[in-house]
Amino acid sequence: MPFPALPAPLAKALADRGYEDPTPVQAAVLEPETEGRDLVVSAQTGSGKTVAYGLALARTLLGDAEMLPAPGAPLALVIAPTRELALQVHRELSWLYGPAGARVVSCVGGMDPRRESRWLADGVHIVVGTPGRLRDHLERRNLDPSALRAAVLDEADEMLDLGFREDLEFILGATPAERRTLLFSATLPKAIVALAESYQRDAMRIAVAGETKAHADIEYRAFRILPRETELVVVNTLRQIEARTSIVFCNTRNSVRHLQAVLTERGFQAVALSGELGQGERNAALQALRDGRARVCVATDVAARGIDLPGLGLVIHAELPNDAEVMQHRSGRTGRAGRKGISVLLVPPSRRRRAEELMVRANVVPVWSGPPPADEIRALDHDRLLQDPLVTDEVSDEDRAMAQSLLAQRSAEDIAAALVRAYRARMPSPEEVTDPGFTTGRGLAPKRETTPRDGPRAPFGSSVWFRLNVGRRDNADPRRLLPMLCRRGDVTREEIGAIRIFDRETKFEVRGGAAERFAHAFPRTGPADLQVEALAGGEADVPPRPRAPRRNTARRG
């Protein structure tokens, strides 16, 4: 169904953006009976609600005119729970109302309030902001609400959950009584209903039929994992599902910091988003994701509220969310605007029942499996290499001449091996992970025959021992050191032998045939503060692993 009659500037903006048909929520707010009325709309994230209320306000702001009047006191106020959502709304309304001559400004915490004051003083049409900053501007008389024709509360349930009720009541109480009020909320708990009754007049409720289809383009998967292997499974999931952009959710700021550091060390271009970051840092992280300098975002729920990233194809719940609504909100970062997406939950045995409860409440049926195995990822890499532009692009005359020169000095097999090494160096190595194989409510997981991780290994043969200048006091961990050594030293896991961590240093062995390559590659990649040196005395220079003290099992008389 095409868009109904709209003011010409907005119709042009939609056409320029490639919009042809409205989403269900957009069509609902444009029905003739909604014109001029207060609205309470239940709309999920990703349903197109920002454009929906932008279109719903068109006649209120423009009337029969095609251009807005000269900017002055604001005509519309949009209140959003977080800085990221407010800035996203600012971007959406700016292009939608741009052809109508609109001046849209944002007022959010973390930005310079004096600059915002200057913007407001210069005259505006639409103000988008967070509750605390908007109240501050009202109290300082920077924001003049006297001409407001409409107010929009976006994600009202989230604002109440975050404790903004008092700020919202202050803001709405300062606006003209005859204003139009639009309230958008994913859910309609009693607190939202009470807020609507207090500040709206004869509001029309809209529950869009089929609204749950906002998540129909998301495929849910649940991976059985061991808790100690969470980081490894995140690595393998990112390697198995190669999305242009991915987001990994954690429940705390500390978890975000730690996981972002782990992924960066393993070679991913990863950024972090959490409440402890300043607005400038958050903006820089989001921009890195938008322009492709980073492809993984590790975030808390609050920091990621309202984020809309192009090409976000994968959501990983590294830690289970607290409730089904949060799970749907997280997952709703992907599968937007008709694009497909994947949402993966990592479920340790102790959290199996909790995960099943979340799925039932969210009306989601996931595909259960073990974590992506390393062998499967290596097989995918084989297929991806054959389809990579490195192999499939047309060869230039200059490239062909260099190839002939190489063939004159090296065998075709050596050159192909070098190509494989170069391809593998672009991505982190997959990790060996375990499927705990526990029973789920939807059936028994197949048991896998697994080799103990600490079991006997084949003889390593000749090797060279190296010293690394980090140890226990630097929180050195074999699980983090091994992929770092492989990546920086241009070696495989099989070419690294024993790793022995001491207080101030770590000693490890590299297979003899790979030692020279390792010593040459390591100092050329990564930060210079990590340094290695070969041990002249070989294994004789490495003290044995300390034995745990024996327990005295004799009974005391």
Residue 444 pLDDT: 41
Sequence ranges of the domains in the chain:
8-212, 217-374, 376-425, 456-541
Same fold, 8-212 and 456-541: no
CA–CA dist 416, 422 (Å, integer): 10
| Segment 493-515 mean pLDDT | 87
- Tell me which of 3.40.50.300, 3.40.50.9100, 2.60.410.10, 3.65.10.10 is the CATH number of domain 217-374: 3.40.50.300
- Under a CB-based contact definition with an 8 Å cutoff, are residues 29 and 184 in contact? no
In this structure, whether the domain defined by 8-212 belongs to CATH 3.40.50.300 is answered with: yes
Only one residue has tokens 């241009």, namely 490
Distance between CA atoms of residues 150 and 39, nearest Å: 11
Span 526-530, average pLDDT: 77
Length of the chain: 557
pLDDT at residue 249, rounded to an integer: 95
pLDDT band at 229 (very low <50, low <70, confident <90, very high): very high
Mean pLDDT of the chain: 83
CATH of the domain spanning 456-541? 3.30.70.330
Q: Per-residue pLDDT for 546 more than 60?
A: no
pLDDT of residue 211: 44
Rounded Cα gap, residues 73 and 165, in angstroms: 25
Q: What is the pLDDT of residue 44?
A: 65
Is 431:232 a contact under the CB 8 Å cutoff?
A: yes
Q: Are 249 and 301 in contact (CB under 8 A)?
A: yes
Q: Is the dihedral of CA 127, 131, 133, 139 positive or negative?
A: positive
pLDDT: which is higher, 20 or 60: 60
CA-derived radius of gyration, the chain: 29
Q: What is the mean pLDDT of residues 380-389?
A: 77
Q: Tens digit of pLDDT for each residue in 413-427?
A: 887 777 777 776 677
Which of these ranges, 96-100, 166-170, 362-366, has the smallest mean pLDDT?
A: 362-366
Taking Cα atoms as reference points, which of 375, 320, 311 lies closest to residue 346? Answer: 320
Q: What's the pLDDT score for residue 554? A: 43
pLDDT at 216: 62
- pTM higher than 0.75, yes or no? no
Q: Lowest mean pLDDT of 266-270, 326-330, 452-456, 480-484, name the range.
A: 452-456
Task: Using the CB atoms, write b or e for 484-503: b if 16+ within 10 Å.
Answer: bbbbbbbbeeebbbebbbbe
CA–CA gap between residue 38 and residue 195 (Å, rounded): 13
DSSP single-letter state for residue 322: S
32-62 residue pLDDT tens: 899 889 999 987 666 688 899 999 999 999 9
**Residue 314 — pLDDT band, cuts 50, 70, 90?**
very high
User: According to the model, what pLDDT value does residue 537 have?
Assistant: 64
Q: Which amino acid does the sequence have at 10?
A: L
Does residue 348 sit in helix, strand or coil?
A: coil
pLDDT at 541 exceeding the cut of 70: no
* Region of poorest pLDDT, from 333-337, 452-456, 538-542: 452-456
Torsion of CA 204, 209, 215, 219, to 10 degrees: 170
Query: Is 168 or 207 the better-scoring residue by pLDDT?
Result: 168
Percent of the chain with pLDDT over 90: 34
SS (H, E, C) 433-501: CCCCCCEECCEECCCCCCCCCCCCCCCCCCEEEEEECCCHHHCCCHHHHHHHHHHHHCCCHHHEEEEEE
